[in-house]
């Protein structure tokens, strides 16, 4: 803490010690109040302004320091000032004191709590962002809630001081009136519990429920306003409980969950079941990467004591294998499987006609109209194609179109340009280079994989360069040209313009949500880069949800499936209980060699967020299994708060990084630290054993040196 914070903490501590040292609590009793009633009446008659001002100042100090006695002071206000003036004095003074207590907690503790428990504080803040005023108001209405604790917790959040002040003022008013009114009949009070009868407690309980009743009323009003122009077409009965638009990861999981809970659900897919992951992304790319990695191992067989061999890459056979693997996985996402599960699967193009009606057009232009209580939009994303002059003239491929184009070829294109240095670009670059193509990778930014730490980017860039890839970072694509039979990409880099000849150009500069063609515009559903949703994945229409790539903020298959649970459950049961999406622990991986996997914060993210951290790193060249497999490139890097074993984030670069990461995902999800990982038995020899070793590195760095020095003396004494 800064000197100013220490000074403020010292003043508060001194005041607290003084209050107990001088036994000021003796004045905070009913007997003391009765004994001083006559004296205060005389003082009030002689100098009312001074007495009221002095009383208010004492009340502010007591509440600001969270000292006992606020209840007695409130009764005293009723006894001395009467109901109206007493209520006014206490209401203002208590609110000022509570606000000062909140500001003190914010100034002294919030930064420390943010560094120590950022995830938990983020969850509290998300809840307050959603229901904060209602939540605070309801708690202020309940005298049983310790107000000092409420002041402390609110001080740790980002709630505006003005909002906190007026909600506290209004929320505490009912309790203030009850106690001040009781004080006007002080002679009838024998103990503090006499103030709150069962009927009064019941009234407070009803008042505490008032904000939530109000929230329900506001939600109802919002629904009426949103649905106003559609009320005339709202069906009295519905054909379906749920219609899901899109048969990718999010859509499949949404439909599956609906079928499990016996809802009547229709899944509409316009193209291929399984979506991008099965047909264009995860499955085919990993199949291609496996073939490419095997070819690479054959070339470097001398690492394993074998004779290196130049693999005869039969590109047609490689692509045939890729297609066969897609077909092998396809039954998991097939129409037949989901029909057997109880899902009505319809092949066609869906348009949302109104909030409860979906029109489906099949390939023969036959139309089917279905009504539904809820809709989940899971339309996915598509490759982003940059607006490069001449691009359409020379032709290009994307991660969606290259599989069909490559499958039609007998040989691998010899000169390939990959535009983009993100995960998709890096994976395709390495795989195609290992299969024998000369690949030039062009990235406009200063480095590859810009969301990873620089050390990771540098390692991957060096690996690609060592395998013959020409990596051009800080190069911007300007235009495409056709010079006779030669196709060229012109780029602008630090050394000026340059033309790169290619046989195929692959655009891998990102993906954009599919937002057009299924009725968003007509309904007025807000969408920019993605469909705008709230914490429950609701759109502007409470019965229409979005999940997966179309909703963001992550474009991973596993997060699409994760969101689908929330979207479908909220769509089916949200009238009774809704669930906000939990994004606290999201893992991801880039399947280059060595793999890059991460969960939580890395260094650049922690610095950007201003979160204090320390780094523990374990190099894989010191791991027995990595040595036996000749897979020693890479490391495990764990971020923890200074001096603590709680895991803020993990970055792994190395063989099987995506598999090794799972232990950290579990640990972060359930609040387990490095000490727990260190105390867990790991099979020897495995790559996952590195998790235990990195925990050991952290433990050694935090060994109690003074204690160990005394232990050493003890052991010396024991030897005689």
In angstroms, the CA 585 to CA 670 distance is 10
Which of residues 72 and 376 earns the better pLDDT score? 376
In angstroms, the CA 272 to CA 347 distance is 9
Tens of pLDDT, residue by residue over 346-366, are 999 999 999 999 999 998 899
Q: Is the pLDDT of residue 125 over 70?
A: no
pTM beyond 0.75: the answer is yes
Q: Is the pLDDT of residue 442 over 50?
A: yes
- 10 Å CB burial of residue 661 (0-12, 13-18, 19+) is buried
pLDDT at residue number 542: 93
Average pLDDT, the chain: 86
CATH superfamily label, 240-382+513-573: FAD/NAD(P)-binding domain (3.50.50.60)
Cβ atoms of residues 684 and 624 within 8 Å? yes
Domain 391-510 has CATH 1.20.1510.10: no
Tens of pLDDT, residue by residue over 133-172, are 666 766 666 655 666 677 777 777 777 888 878 777 777 7
In angstroms, the CA 502 to CA 645 distance is 51
Which residues lie closer than 8 Å to 215 by C-beta, 6 or more apart? Answer: 131, 134
Tallying the residues shown for the chain, one arrives at: 720
**Range with lowest mean pLDDT among 90-99, 389-398, 663-672:** 90-99
Tens of pLDDT, residue by residue over 175-203, are 777 777 766 665 444 544 544 455 444 54
In angstroms, the CA 628 to CA 372 distance is 58
Mean of pLDDT values over 450-473 = 97
Cβ atoms of residues 242 and 568 within 8 Å? yes
Q: Is the pLDDT of residue 327 over 90?
A: yes
Q: Is 391-510 in the same CATH topology as 240-382+513-573?
A: yes
pLDDT at residue number 317: 96
Mean of pLDDT values over 54-75 = 76
Question: Any idea where the domains of the chain sit in the sequence?
Answer: 3-213, 240-382+513-573, 391-510, 594-705
Q: Is the pLDDT of residue 59 over 70?
A: yes
In angstroms, the CA 52 to CA 86 distance is 9
Give me the sheet containing 496-502, strands edge to edge.
476-483, 486-493, 496-502
In angstroms, the CA 389 to CA 408 distance is 27
Which of residues 444 and 83 earns the better pLDDT score? 444
pLDDT at residue number 116: 63
Q: Is the pLDDT of residue 3 over 80?
A: no
Question: How many Cβ atoms are within 10 Å of 636's Cβ, its own excluded?
Answer: 27
Share above pLDDT 90 across residues of the chain, in percent, rounded to a whole number: 60
Q: For 594-705, CATH number?
A: 3.30.390.30
Tens of pLDDT, residue by residue over 589-618, are 999 999 999 999 999 999 998 999 999 999
Cβ atoms of residues 394 and 417 within 8 Å? no
**Range with lowest mean pLDDT among 24-38, 85-99, 147-161:** 24-38
Tens of pLDDT, residue by residue over 388-426, are 999 999 999 999 999 999 999 999 999 999 999 999 999
């Amino acid at each position: 803490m800064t000197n100013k914070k220490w000074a403020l903490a010292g003043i508060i501590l001194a005041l607290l010690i003084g209050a107990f040292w001088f036994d000021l609590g003796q004045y905070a009793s009913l007997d003391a109040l009765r004994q001083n009633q006559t004296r205060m009446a005389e003082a009030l008659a002689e100098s009312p302004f001074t007495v009221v001002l002095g009383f208010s100042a004492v009340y502010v100090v007591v509440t600001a320091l969270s000292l006992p006695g606020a209840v007695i002071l409130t009764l005293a206000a009723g006894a001395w000032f009467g109901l109206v003036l007493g209520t006014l004095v206490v209401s203002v003074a208590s609110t000022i004191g509570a606000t000062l207590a909140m500001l003190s907690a914010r100034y002294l503790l919030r930064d420390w709590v943010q560094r120590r428990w950022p995830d938990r504080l983020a969850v509290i803040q998300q809840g307050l962002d959603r229901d904060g005023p209602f939540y605070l108001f309801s708690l202020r209405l309940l005298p049983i809630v310790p107000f000092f604790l409420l002041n402390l917790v609110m001080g740790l959040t980002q709630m505006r001081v003005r909002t906190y002040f007026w909600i506290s003022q209004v929320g505490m008013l009912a309790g203030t009136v009850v106690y001040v009114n009781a004080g006007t009949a002080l002679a009838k009070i024998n103990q503090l519990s006499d103030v709150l009868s069962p009927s009064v407690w019941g009234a407070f309980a009803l008042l505490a429920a008032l904000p939530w009743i109000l929230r329900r009323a506001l939600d109802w009003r919002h629904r009426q306003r949103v649905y106003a122009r559609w009320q005339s077409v709202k069906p009295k009965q519905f054909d379906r409980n749920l219609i899901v638009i899109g048969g990718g990861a999010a859509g499949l999981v949404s439909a599956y969950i609906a079928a499990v809970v016996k809802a009547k659900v229709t899944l509409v897919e316009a193209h291929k079941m399984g979506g991008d992951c099965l047909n264009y992304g995860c499955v085919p790319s990993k199949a291609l990467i496996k073939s490419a990695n095997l070819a690479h191992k054959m070339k470097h067989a001398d690492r394993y004591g074998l004779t290196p061999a130049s693999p005869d890459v039969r590109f047609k056979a490689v692509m045939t294998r890729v297609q066969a693997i897609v077909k092998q996985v396809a039954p998991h996402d097939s129409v037949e499987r989901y029909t057997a599960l109880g899902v009505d699967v319809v092949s066609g193009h869906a348009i949302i006609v109104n909030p409860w009606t979906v029109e489906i057009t099949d390939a023969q232009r036959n139309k089917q109209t279905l009504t539904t209580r809820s809709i989940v939009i899971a339309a996915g994303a598509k490759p982003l194609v940059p607006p490069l002059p001449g691009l359409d003239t020379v032709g290009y491929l994307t991660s969606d179109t290259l599989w069909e184009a490559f499958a039609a070829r007998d040989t691998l294109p010899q000169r390939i340009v990959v535009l983009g240095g993100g995960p998709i670009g890096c994976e395709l670059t390495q795989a195609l280079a290992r299969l024998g193509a000369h690949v030039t990778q062009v990235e406009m930014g200063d480095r590859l994989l810009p969301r990873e730490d620089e050390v990771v980017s540098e390692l991957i860039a060096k690996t690609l360069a060592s395998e013959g890839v020409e990596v051009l970072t800080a190069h911007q694509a300007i235009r495409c040209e056709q010079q006779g039979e030669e196709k060229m990409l012109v780029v602008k880099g630090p050394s000026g313009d340059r033309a790169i000849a290619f046989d195929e150009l692959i655009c891998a500069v990102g993906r954009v949500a599919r937002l057009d063609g299924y009725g968003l515009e007509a309904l007025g559903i807000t969408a920019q880069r993605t469909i705008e949703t709230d914490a429950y994945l609701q759109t502007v229409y409470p019965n229409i949800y979005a999940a997966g790539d179309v909703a963001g903020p992550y474009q991973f298959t596993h997060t699409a499936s994760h969101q689908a649970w929330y979207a479908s459950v909220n769509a089916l049961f949200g009238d009774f209980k809704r669930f906000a999406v939990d994004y606290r622990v999201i893992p991801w991986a880039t399947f280059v060699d060595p793999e890059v996997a991460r969960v939580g914060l890395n260094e650049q993210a922690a610095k950007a967020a201003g979160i204090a951290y320390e780094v523990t790193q374990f190099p894989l060249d010191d791991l027995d299994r990595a040595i036996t497999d000749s897979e020693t490139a890479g490391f495990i890097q764990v971020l923890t708060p200074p001096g603590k074993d709680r895991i803020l984030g993990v970055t792994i670069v190395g063989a099987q990084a995506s598999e090794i990461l799972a232990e950290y995902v579990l640990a972060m999800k359930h609040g387990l630290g490095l000490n727990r990982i260190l105390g867990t038995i790991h099979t020897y020899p495995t790559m996952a054993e590195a998790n235990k070793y990195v925990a050991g590195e952290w433990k050694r760095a935090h060994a109690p040196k003074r204690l160990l020095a005394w232990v050493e003396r003890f052991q010396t004494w024991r030897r005689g």
